[in-house]
Amino acid sequence: MTFLKTVSFILFCLSMNTIYAQNLKSYQWKNRLLLVITDDINNEIYKNQITELERHVNGLKERKLIVYHIKKDSYKIGLIENGRWQESFSLYTTYNTKNAPFTISLIGLDGGTKLKQNKLLHCKELFSVIDVMPMRKSEINND
């Protein structure tokens, strides 16, 4: 009986991981994602990163960027200070592969990781990375 419970639990965990991975895949070809991952929302780099992003909301919108805040057991979307945290145990482990206290990752329109680092990412650098991408150049030319 214990074996059956263990197998059931493992299958449940794998299915939850798939659900959240599919959730991020729904943005493919529509939006870029910026995953701001921390083990503690009081982490100084995390707080400074959010402040930096809040200063450049128009640039984020212009580049079709959606910000995901991810911590060990939950996540929220956007820069609204009082946004609702939703339970997730898989996003943190899936995208914080080095188990660092802070990680920021840029996921492109194609779903690929374009940038990943464990220090503050200034928007000037972020926008420079995005603005040289072929899809972004196409967006600029079509505006």
Using one digit for the tens of pLDDT, what is the confidence trace for 49-70? 999 999 999 999 999 999 999 9
Q: Rounded CA gap, 56 and 67, in Å?
A: 12
pLDDT at 108: 96
Q: What is the mean pLDDT of each run of 10 residues along the chain (143 residues)?
A: 51 40 80 97 97 98 97 94 88 91 96 96 98 88 81
pLDDT at 140: 84
CA atoms within 13 A on the CB side of 134: 2
Q: What is the 3-state secondary structure (H, E, C) of 38-49?
A: ECCCCCHHHHHH
pLDDT at 135: 85
**Domains in the chain, CATH or no CATH each:** 2-142 (3.40.30.10)
